[in-house]
Amino acid sequence: MATKSPDAQSLLTPAEVAALFRVDPKTVTRWAKAGKLTSIRTLGGHRRYPEDEVRQLLAGIPQQRS
């Protein structure tokens, strides 16, 4: 194939996010359920998390909190 979209890797797996935050994948799932993390689901039901959002959270940027 020739047409390669510039946007390739922008989603992270639960294990990736969990490793980044040093928590269990289960905890990441809870964050997604609580609406603290934007989650995109695969057709099989697994979640994928935007890398941009995770990076912001990792950097300590409060989203909208007093």
Give the footprint of a second copy on this chain (CB under 8 A): 1-5, 7-13, 15-16, 19-23, 27, 30-31, 33-34, 36-37, 40-45, 48, 57-58, 61, 63-66
Q: Cα separations (Å) of 43 from 23, 24, 30, 39, 47?
A: 25, 23, 20, 13, 9
- Tokens linked to 27: 């905890």
CB of 25 to a second copy, least distance (A): 11
| Contacts to DNA by CB under 7 A | 1-3, 13-16, 18, 22-34, 42-47, 64, 66
